[in-house]
Amino acid sequence: MGARRRSVEDLVGTVGRPRREDIWTDRNVFITGCTGLVGGWLTDALIESGANVVGLIRDWVPRSRLVSQGQSARITAVRGSVEDRGLIERAINEYEIQTVFHLAAQTIVGTANRDPVSTFDTNILGTWNVLEACRRVSTVKQIIVASSDKAYGYHEALPYKESYPLRGIHPYDVSKSCADLISMSYAHTYGLPAVVTRCGNFYGGGDLNFNRIVPGTIRSVLRGERPIIRSDGTMTRDYVYVEDAVDAYLCLAERLVEEPDLRGMAFNFSYEQPLSVLEMADAILSMMNRTDLAPRVLGEAANEIPHQHLDAGLARRVLGWEPRFALHEGLQRTVRWYQDFFASTSATAAVVSGQSDIDE
């Protein structure tokens, strides 16, 4: 008879536990989505911790943090997409990857509504391609899959807990529910060392989708314009500063090295301080001393869940994770990043299309 798998109670860690940077020295790490907001910051952190980073890059984005700050020259770039399973398996096998961070996704609600099939291809097919490649390559010891609070769909009872069923209805939410469930299936059926993160809306320097509330509001203020809110402004979400998100991903991966019995688990990461879209816009306007620029509220958002926020108690108890930055600190660092960005480039060319001001 095999050894008993330990319970959650057996795995409880210490809140505020120190990072285990020694784990990353010379570790071969594969990141999908490395040109995105979280992926760029995660790449920075892993390089600084001594990891050998291999990044999957579909589109070359010159103004992304990965490229503009020179980190692309410090990683091994694999050009292609998560829809190409053969490419994924080749890269993981040839570079003897030990840890995989699967962050690549189509994250825009409006894009998913207009073209659900491309979103399903990237978010669902892409996820099982990564997992199947990992299943077939024995060097892989940890897999962190980025899901989302949207995977839960709509629940009246708040905050959402990891025990809540995943029941997305609209295309983007369904794509995250499916990817999340597929990850759990591979972990429980094949013993794949996969765990899932579920977070709210990320913000921080380097997000070039200016239809999102944080970068869009900052850009409007810097131009002396009123920010635009595409929803009615009342929807509430968790907002997670990008460096805290990176800490969460690394903390989970480090614990998975130490505790393989974490496989097949999902963790919410949240400040547990939900804000409405209008409250977030007002916080930015206040910080930038431009409360005279009242937001223009369009009320055009469709297929959005009115209120979502997460219970992060499991991450605190089991992983010892807690955020390092309060909202005002995260916003200050973000505002400074965009001030520098717009001062140093003709950044209007960096706009990336999108429709929702409240997706990740």
Share of the chain above pLDDT 70, in %: 90
Query: Residue 296 above 60 pLDDT?
Result: yes
pLDDT band of residue 280 (cuts 50, 70, 90) is very high
Q: Could you tell me the two tokens for 276?
A: 């409405």
Task: Write down the pLDDT at residue 345.
Answer: 66
Which entry of 95, 152, 160, 172 is annotated as an active-site residue? Answer: 172
Per-residue pLDDT tens for 84-122? 999 999 999 999 999 999 999 998 888 899 999 999 999
Q: Could you tell me the two tokens for 125?
A: 């097919």
pLDDT band of residue 303 (cuts 50, 70, 90) is confident
Q: Domains, the chain, ranges and CATH?
A: 10-202+241-269 (3.40.50.720)
Distance CA 147, CA 140 (A): 20
DSSP result, 247-287? HHHHHHHHHHHH-GGGTT-EEEE--S--EEHHHHHHHHHHH
Q: For the chain, where are the alpha helices, taking DSSP H only? A: 37-48, 65-68, 85-94, 109-114, 116-120, 126-136, 171-190, 213-222, 242-258, 277-287, 313-314, 327-344
Per-residue pLDDT tens for 39-96? 999 999 999 999 999 999 998 888 788 888 888 889 999 999 999 999 999 999 999 9
Task: Write down the pLDDT at residue 171.
Answer: 96
Task: Write down the pLDDT at residue 326.
Answer: 95
Euclidean distance between the first and final Cα of the chain, in Å? Answer: 44
Query: Residue 360 above 50 pLDDT?
Result: no
Distance CA 77, CA 88 (A): 12
Q: Could you tell me the two tokens for 279?
A: 């409250």
Distance CA 307, CA 200 (A): 11
Cβ pair 229, 217 in contact under 8 A? no
Query: Residue 1 above 50 pLDDT?
Result: no
Mean pLDDT, residues 6-32 taken together: 75
Cβ pair 141, 148 in contact under 8 A? no
Distance CA 57, CA 116 (A): 22
Task: Write down the pLDDT at residue 347.
Answer: 41
User: Of the ranges 5-19, 134-148, 217-231, which one carries the lowest mean pLDDT score?
Assistant: 5-19
Query: Residue 355 above 60 pLDDT?
Result: no
Query: Residue 2 above 50 pLDDT?
Result: no
Does residue 95 have an active-site annotation? no
Mean pLDDT, residues 1-5 taken together: 50
Distance CA 148, CA 310 (A): 10
Mean pLDDT, residues 169-192 taken together: 97
Pairing type for strands 236-237 and 228-229 reads unpaired
Query: Whole-structure pTM over 0.85, yes or no?
Result: yes
Pairing type for strands 296-297 and 239-241 reads unpaired
